[in-house]
Amino acid sequence: MAPAAGATILHADLDAFYASVEQLLDPSLRGKPIAVGGGVVLAASYEAKAFGVHGAMNGRRARQLCPQLIFVDGHFSEYTKFGDAVMAVLGDFTPWVERVSIDEAFLDVSGSTHLFGTPAEIAQQIRARVRDEIGLPISVGVATTKHLAKVASQVAKPDGLVVVQPGEERAFLDPLPVQLLWGIGPATTRKLSEAGIHTIGELHAAEPERVQRLLGTAVGEKLGFLAANEDPRAIETSRRAKSVGAQSALGRRVVTEQLLQETLGFLADRVATRLRAGGHAGRTVTVRVRFRDLRAITRSRTVDEAISSTSTLRTVCVELVKTALADNPREREVSLLAISVSNLANESELQLALGLGDDDRNEGEPPAIDRIEHPPRALDEAMDRARARFGRDAVGFATVVFRDGAGVPDAFRELAEKDR
């Protein structure tokens, strides 16, 4: 559904979702600084965030910042249940709901105002019902575009409502920090800050060529559009997976063969399992390597036969990462490895041969993989069945099961990693 005239797009985002669910399940935790996890903070309550505690932080560092911090184990099945319940409430107000993660969604309420009132009144009703019926705080942004609605919901946090009416966009956006724009992370924020660009208004006023030289053409153009509130994207009620991916933050690790095999084996296991669960296979494999200075590069390869085999995916990813490292011989440490599979197809039967010829090989790349020893497809299927019955930890590849640094529970990763 295309965006309608007026501020009829809502972005609803549950506040500190995982921690809020834990406080709901155990009322004695309400009002206290808590963190889900242990060795690593998976999520933090607002009371903990006030001390500087945040997700992905080392547990020891979190305790230093907040000595009274309470660590709790995650109730992952409960997160799914509560997230689904909230989405059911949203669906009572409009059929045009685009769920983008377990705890957030976009809505178009242009066709619902004659039933429930103005978009702002609808947002208030949503917040009241989620609080009264489910017991969770939720922030809502109302605006003319998806991007602006998402920014508004972030400004509304915690547990608030912000409405940006037509004609008020620039007055709202200009004073806000650039990191509130969709897709801007710490590295990009730092580059912009070093160039004297701190607010969305300053980014909007900057010469496009200057921003593109600073961040690259594609990223510069995208952020320029967002700073100008140019976002024509429509609400998509049925999101077909375009890619399946996973990533692993490593801190600062010296690159070794063991590190590549273990980490990429773990990521390939996650991605391939999700591919098979969705009845998908993919032809384009992409890896992302982030170095110690946060500079990141990607390499990809499109194969002839769609794949969903864990072993095959790992082999392709290892070769791609080695290609990336060979192109950057001065880099000895990596801080993140990520993989994704795109160009998806629904396939009930997969040929196990990979057609990777040398014709499309870039100069300097290692020779293409002419032959890969594939395990029988029945092996992957047997592992999937065993995990479905006895849990994910029941069986797995040795390099994955016994890898170092396996700190984040798989159940949490499954909630956080969404097909896009």
Phi, psi of 304 (to 5 degrees): -70, -40
Residue 294, Ramachandran bin (φ over 0: left; ψ between -120 and 50: alpha; else beta): left
Amino acid code (one letter) for 257: E
217-227 and 208-215 helices, crossing angle to 10°: 130
Catalytic residue numbers? Answer: 104
**Spatial separation of the C-alpha atoms in residues 203 and 186, rounded to whole Å:** 16
DSSP 112-125: THHHH-SHHHHHHH
DSSP character for 366?
Answer: P
**Spatial separation of the C-alpha atoms in residues 240 and 242, rounded to whole Å:** 6
Q: Supply 58's token pair.
A: 């080392």
Say if residue 158 is preceded by a cis peptide, omega within 30 of 0: yes
**Spatial separation of the C-alpha atoms in residues 352 and 310, rounded to whole Å:** 12
**Cβ(63)–Cβ(53) below 8 Å:** no
**Cβ(6)–Cβ(240) below 8 Å:** no
Q: Residue 73 contacts by C-beta under 8 Å, 6 or more apart in sequence?
A: 36, 38
Pairing between strand 9-14 and 41-44?
A: unpaired
